[in-house]
């Protein structure tokens, strides 16, 4: 019973922070940046600066995550650091309400800070997976987290969309005011549903029985972790493959709405497409968890990458709302699957007692890739003046990821601790 409560409390954090990923990162922020905060600014320029904002936030996590992961493992600080980063994200997200018309530099700054909070907290959230679930159950537990994230994020986003389409129902005067209030609802939602993981997920005390920050020990442990990653060839190859293919996935997540606006699709239809992704993603993530149990996480990841190749090519030719809805449905089927199976597979390749350190590298790899992907798409778009060419450039990442993933042989000896 206690293990089940810990699993659900852990998974509810995905329900909590996915509101930011959906309403802010994928949904209203790119729309509001282009049509309100960046009113009168060249659309390709806002695309470029949105990519820069995402890249800078990712770079901060690249620098901080390994050291903070080592501190969390040595000092027993996973939950405390999760709480600290979540607070940063919550405050920055709520503060977006105060940003007025035309103040796009401030909006991007607050957005970047919120992304740092979101991404930093995920380092420690992911690392807690090995504490709440045995190795043989992690495909399903990881998928449960992502599925609840899609459901929770989708539910709040649906409310926020209703606020936007019918502001008078909520006592608001305009759709713009509704979007500003939606940032506040995300902050409150994120804060409230973070409480269960802090209360009911048990984090064992460190060997010293004292939770504290020890910089010297942390850097020493970090150096050991680097050596361990290099010793485990299968881990190194997987991280390299993940670095490539997840960059393509994250770039599509963060830049999709901006791309749709650039090729002339309506903002209302884009919002509907995002809702489709969320509610299709809920059962699809659970299904991929079962697929991972039956056929292996690596095979499931392979299927998802090929699906993303098709998604990218389809997006290049897309020019109608119907095609966009078809694309959204396909993304909803595979997005949660590739995220959940990647996390669960990696959790089975690493030492349990160093989970935060190794997940620090895991998240660094993902965020290091996200430094490049949005920048690449934004740069190609602004250089060519064609957003379709920008989206097509992401294919490079998926094909390179598949080439490396082919060399990940799971029968090689790995350190599996449950």
Q: Is residue 416 part of a domain?
A: no
pLDDT for 414: 43
Q: Is residue 203 part of a domain?
A: no
Angle between helices 395-405 and 297-317 (to 10 degrees): 160
**Cβ atoms 158, 22 nearer than 8 A:** no
- Taking CA atoms, 202 is separated from 90, 127, 196, in Å, by 23, 13, 11
Q: Is residue 415 part of a domain?
A: no
Q: Is residue 317 part of a domain?
A: yes
Q: Is residue 354 part of a domain?
A: yes
pLDDT for 201: 92
Which tokens in the block code for residue 318?
A: 């897309």
pLDDT for 66: 76
Give dist(CA 341, CA 148) in Å, integer.
15
Number of independent structural domains in the chain: 1
- The four Cα atoms 299, 300, 302, 308 give a dihedral, to 10 degrees, of 170
Profile the chain (418 residues) by mean pLDDT over runs of 10 residues.
85 95 86 81 75 82 79 76 96 95 88 93 88 82 90 92 92 92 97 96 70 56 66 81 88 72 76 83 87 84 93 86 85 88 85 73 72 77 82 89 85 43
Q: Is residue 209 part of a domain?
A: no
**Cβ atoms 184, 94 nearer than 8 A:** yes
- Taking CA atoms, 124 is separated from 51, 71, 160, 192, 418, in Å, by 25, 11, 28, 18, 18
Give dist(CA 17, CA 124) in Å, integer.
13
pLDDT for 417: 41
Give dist(CA 200, CA 9) in Å, integer.
6
DSSP-assigned states of every residue in 67-78: HHHHHHHHHT-H
Give dist(CA 249, CA 373) in Å, integer.
9
Give dist(CA 196, CA 78) in Å, integer.
14
Global confidence as pTM: 0.78
pLDDT for 308: 93
- The four Cα atoms 373, 376, 377, 380 give a dihedral, to 10 degrees, of -170
CATH code of the domain containing 149: 1.20.1250.20
Nearest to 274 by CA among 16, 29, 52, 10: 29
Range of the domain at 17: 2-198+222-405
pLDDT for 413: 39
Q: Is residue 70 part of a domain?
A: yes
Give dist(CA 259, CA 252) in Å, integer.
9
Q: Is residue 80 part of a domain?
A: yes
């Amino acid at each position: 019973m206690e293990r089940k409560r810990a699993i659900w409390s852990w998974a509810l954090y995905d329900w909590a922070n996915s509101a930011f990923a959906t309403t802010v990162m994928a949904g209203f922020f790119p729309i509001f940046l282009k049509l309100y905060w960046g009113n009168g600014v060249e659309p390709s320029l806002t695309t470029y600066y949105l990519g820069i904002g995402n890249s800078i936030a990712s770079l901060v996590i690249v620098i901080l995550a390994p050291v903070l992961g080592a501190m969390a493992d040595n000092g027993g600080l996973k939950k405390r650091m999760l709480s600290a980063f979540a607070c940063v994200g919550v405050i920055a997200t709520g503060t977006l309400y105060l940003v007025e018309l035309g103040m796009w530099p401030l909006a991007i700054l607050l957005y970047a800070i919120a992304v740092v909070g979101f991404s930093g907290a995920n380092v420690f959230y992911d690392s807690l997976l090995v504490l709440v679930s045995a190795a043989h159950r992690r495909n399903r537990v990881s998928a449960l987290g992502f599925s609840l994230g899609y459901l929770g994020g989708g539910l709040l986003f649906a409310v926020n969309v209703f606020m936007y389409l019918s502001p008078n129902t909520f006592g608001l005067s305009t759709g713009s005011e509704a979007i500003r209030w939606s940032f506040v609802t995300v902050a409150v939602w994120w804060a409230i549903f973070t409480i269960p993981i802090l209360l009911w997920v048990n984090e064992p005390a460190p060997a010293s029985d004292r939770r504290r920050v020890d910089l010297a020990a942390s850097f020493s442990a970090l150096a050991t972790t680097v050596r361990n990653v290099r010793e485990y060839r299968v881990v190194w190859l997987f991280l390299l493959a993940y670095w490539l293919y997840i960059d393509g996935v994250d770039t599509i997540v963060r830049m999709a709405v901006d791309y749709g606006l650039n090729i002339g699709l309506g903002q209302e239809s884009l919002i509907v497409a995002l809702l489709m992704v969320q509610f299709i993603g809920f059962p699809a993530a659970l299904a991929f968890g079962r697929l991972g149990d039956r056929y292996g996480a690596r095979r499931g990841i392979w299927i998802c990458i090929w699906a993303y190749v098709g998604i990218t090519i389809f997006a290049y030719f897309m020019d109608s709302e119907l095609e966009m809805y078809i694309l959204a449905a396909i993304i909803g089927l595979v997005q949660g699957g590739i995220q959940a199976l990647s996390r669960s597979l990696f959790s089975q390749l690493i030492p349990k007692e160093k989970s935060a350190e190794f997940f620090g590298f895991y998240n660094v790899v993902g965020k290091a890739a996200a430094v490049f992907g949005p920048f690449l798409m934004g740069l190609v778009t602004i250089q060519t003046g064609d957003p379709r060419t920008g989206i097509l450039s992401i294919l490079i990442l998926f094909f390179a990821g598949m080439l490396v993933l082919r060399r990940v042989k799971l029968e090689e000896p790995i350190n599996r601790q449950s």
